[in-house]
Amino acid sequence: MTESVLDVRGVSIWKGLLDKPSQDAMVADLREVATAAPFRRYETPGGRRMSVRMTAAGDLGWVTDRSGYRYDPMQPDGDRWPGIPTSILDVWNTVSGTSRPPDSCLVNFYGEGAKMGMHQDRDETDTSWPVVSISLGDSALFRVGGTSRGGATESVWLDSGDVAVLAGAARLAFHGIDRIRFGSSSLLPEGGRINVTLRVAG
């Protein structure tokens, strides 16, 4: 097994944690999630439509609309979110360092040209729980800084099968995705990137 852990400004990145069969199994599970809870392009409170498409699984899903960012037990159409697939919970159990299960699994899809601006993740009730992030499909240029906006940043490519763990001071680091290398991976036949983040949100 070829696997190593990188430290990028306190973010632990397990390179190549998931092998191809595990990635394929996870994509199949995520297709079922997307059947029960379709990907949507949300509007920010400021009225901008995000380029990333999102859905979720678990007790709480992260959503945004004109009234704000929040974790919601319901999809925008009023249905509950589907359960978090076991293949994804297994990754949390391997790397999170906690026995408390996540209650929220955000699924981000990046098509050609999609990106995510620098932000902090602070909509969770208790931000001291770790966040675990799984990258699938096309490679993405991930940027991470410190706990205040505008300071020095460092960039690293996240590739399919990489898993990042955000804990300690890095949990409140500013971070974003500058761009993806569309078509760099054959995991998703139509191209694009999926990022799955697991959290204790409520």
Comparison of 78 and 165: residue with beta carbon closer to ligand MD3: 165
Six-digit token string for 141: 């240029």
Neighbours of 162 (CB within 10 A): 23
* Stretch of residues binding Fe ion (CB under 5 A), selected from 1-9, 15-23, 63-71, 121-129: 121-129
CB 62 within 8 A of CB 71: yes
CA–CA gap between residue 195 and residue 140 (Å, rounded): 10
Indicate whether 164 belongs to the interface with ligand MD3 (CB under 6 A).
yes
CA angle 32, 183, 57 (to 5 degrees): 25
Interface pick for ligand MD3 out of 26, 56, 63, 106 (rule CB under 6 A)? 106
* Stretch of residues binding ligand MD3 (CB under 6 A), selected from 16-24, 79-87, 145-153, 173-181: 173-181
Quick note: the x/- pattern for ligand MD3 over 114-153, rule CB under 6 A, is --x----x---------x-x------x-------------
Indicate whether 124 belongs to the interface with Fe ion (CB under 5 A).
no
CA–CA gap between residue 13 and residue 24 (Å, rounded): 20
Comparison of 29 and 53: residue with beta carbon closer to ligand MD3: 53
CB of 129 to ligand MD3, least distance (A): 11
Six-digit token string for 136: 């699938």
Indicate whether 103 belongs to the interface with Fe ion (CB under 5 A).
no
SS3 118: strand
What one-character DSSP code corresponds to residue 202?
A: -
CA–CA gap between residue 142 and residue 178 (Å, rounded): 6
| Residue 199 vs residues 68, 76, 88: alpha-carbon distances, Å | 19, 20, 12
Comparison of 121 and 159: residue with beta carbon closer to Fe ion: 121
CB of 106 to Fe ion, least distance (A): 9
Q: Which residue ranges make up the site for ligand MD3 (CB under 6 A)? A: 11, 106, 108, 116, 121, 131, 133, 140, 164, 166, 170-171, 173, 175, 177, 195, 197
Q: Which residue ranges make up the site for Fe ion (CB under 5 A)? A: 121
